[in-house]
Amino acid sequence: MEPDCTTDRGDNARPLYPVRPADLAALLDRLPPPQSAYLRDLGVTAKSGEVLFLPGPDGVAGAVCGLGDNRSPFAFGHLARLLPEGTTWRLEPGDYDAGAATLGFCLGAYRYTQFKPADRAPARLVVSPDQAPALAQASAICMARDLINTPANMLGPVELADAAIDLGRRFGAETTLIAGDALDRDYPTVAAVGAGSARPPRVAILHWRGSAAHDDAALVSLCGKGVCFDTGGLDLKPSSGMLHMKKDMGGAANILALAQLIMQADLPVRLAVRIGCVENSVSGTAMRPRDIIRTRSGLTVEVGNTDAEGRLVLCDLLFDAAAEQPSVLIDCATLTGAARVALGPELPALFCNDDAWATLLLRAGEDCYDPLWRLPLWNGYKGWLDSTVADINNISAKPFAGAIVAALFLQRFVPAEIPWIHLDLYAWNEQAQAGRPEGGECQAVRALFAALSAAPIALKQ
């Protein structure tokens, strides 16, 4: 779906001149003398974020957008809300990537408006057919943002599962919805996490194949943590810790955005998607500290803390996905506060058991300005998850390395020969920045998609 901030009609579009400091003098020489003199009087510098409007006989005739040395899409992220409402603009040639400009413009135009309209409509940008990949990325990211921003009373496990199924059907995927006794039997850890909620858990599964994908084509398997609200369970969070917990399904939202990009681009792969949709609530039927759960794999887990529920949601999904022997297995989750302490809200933590995949993904993140930071799967901490009454505990008794310990827990459910990527992300903008409004955020998806698109060798069986 084309964003409402773009158009393919250039009638009456006003010129927008993106410019870097090194090219400013040449631009000033090209512009009509009155406009050039006006910009000089204002002291234009072409620094990143600078926007100056060009006067004309009927008002604003154009605008100059400074880029500085910023080559990310977010150099254009402020324009849709800064350019006059109702106006249409065309990008003039310059030292920038048109796809990145289109993406940044669209991401900056985004507002969550289901319950309150935006304060103003965005300006519109003229786009050409070759900007379709940028528009596809914007659409997927905004879908994820909408899911994360939707309040938990409107988006529970059933609604999230339905959103996943609807996405699969839109692209002709085979869809499966697991609930009730089948979920208790096949995904016991998902069922255990959801046992305390009046809203029943679900597992949504999609299988899709690209039009050029043969029977032996690479299988990309995606798993997402979809905890629609997390109270912490009986190990209850403080009220301040629950304020953002509608975003605890951010991993699922990111996985669905990645799946949409893969299917829309018709990558020549087979795709499997598993979303664990659940609410972690407090009630007489909720799982308790020191309960023991038998996982799909047969391993038993002692519940050291009911607020470490995300790894329980994922472990059965990962084990199920691994049984299909995927070429690469990827999971996304808003898993640990420890990752945020280490890396902050804007930098997802990457754990990977395959150095080639990790290198490819880190490079892709740098190239498309969707960064990640690799943390180690440090074997020395594996013993911290030992339990005296079960095969493994879901937490460590030590107050250190929480993100690493969580990743080591998940690693127990993934065979060593399967390339596995685990992303511990925040999925939220604490404050508004250019192209990144406050609220739900889609993180690492552009990097993942770029890596998957560029990895025909790595994806071979």
**Residues taking part in catalysis:** 237, 311
If we measure between CA atoms, which residue out of 14, 12, 33, 194 comes closest to residue 92?
14
Kind and range of the H or E element at 250?
helix 250-265
CB 171 within 8 A of CB 264: yes
Q: What are phi and psi of 220, to 5 degrees?
A: -100, 120
What does the alpha-carbon distance between residue 291 and residue 301 come to, in Å, rounded to a whole number?
A: 8
**Cross-strand partners of 280:** 230
Task: Give the 3-state secondary structure of residue 85.
Answer: coil
Q: Which of 132, 136, 99 is nearest to 367 (CA)?
A: 99
Strand partners for 329: 221, 420
178 and 170 Cβ atoms separated by less than 8 Å: no
CA 423, 349, 311, 383 torsion-angle sign: positive
Which of 27, 23, 95, 97 minimizes the C-alpha distance to 62? 27
From 135, 143, 63, 168, select the one nearest 440 (Cα to Cα).
143
Element (H, E) at 15: strand 14-19
